[in-house]
Amino acid sequence: MRYIFILLFIILAQTKVVFAQNKAQIPDSTLKKIAVDMCECFNERNNDGTINQKSIPNKEKIELCSGLVMLKYTNELPENVFSDKNISEELGRQMAPFLMRDCPKFIEYVSLQEEGERKAEEPKIAFVVYEGVFQKIKTKNYTFITIKNDAGKIEKFLWLNTFENDKLFINNPKNMRGKKIRITSSEINDMYDNKTKKYLSFKKIHQIEEVK
């Protein structure tokens, strides 16, 4: 259905995507009526008829309401609004300010969509947990915390920025010597080392906890 495209362009318009202008100007009075009806449709009602303030419409609800309301106002919209992509784009562009100004539920929906997209774009970090006896803090080109694992192997971990329980190693690291700790880390690659003139990989510390 063409109303799905209308919905898409309503959302895109508020994120400052610029569409080519055309001559399909729709009266503000019509746009306002559509926005009011859409917003009412987006609302979930409690048993007593009041609006459920905590509910946020999902994509299916948005699409359903958009389609029903657009069909209701077909006679007041430009011809071919459901079949002409350019007209649908223009309708979305013109509708966006009304919904973004007068419809809190739509704003909440858009905000959630943007947050979801932002999180999806963030690189996923693979965490690995190591256990061993704390040995020492070693500083050369970088600062490392070293442990000896149960197999007797020395592992070193890059102290790049603040992490949970870092105060244990800032205030008096000697008190931690010989204690078993658990380190949550992630692999970071391509850190340039000026001394070796190479790009190196390290295990970066995210959290350290003492194993009782």
Longest CA pairwise span in the chain (Å): 80
Task: Tell me the domain boundaries of the chain.
Answer: 2-121, 127-210
User: For residue 24, what pLDDT is reported?
Assistant: 56
pLDDT, residue 54, reads 66
3-class DSSP string for 127-185: EEEEEEEEEEEEECCCEEEEEECCCCCEEEEECCCCCECCHHHHHCHHHHCCCEEEEEE
Give me the pLDDT at residue 133, please: 96
Residue 120 is predicted with a pLDDT of: 63
Among 124, 144, 119, 151, smallest CA distance to 202 is for: 144
In tens digits, the chain (212 residues) has pLDDT values of: 444 445 545 554 443 333 334 445 778 888 888 888 888 887 776 666 665 666 667 777 777 887 788 888 888 877 776 677 777 777 777 877 888 787 887 777 777 766 666 666 666 778 999 999 999 999 877 899 999 999 999 999 999 999 999 998 998 888 999 999 999 999 998 888 888 888 989 999 999 999 98
CATH number of 127-210: 2.40.50.140
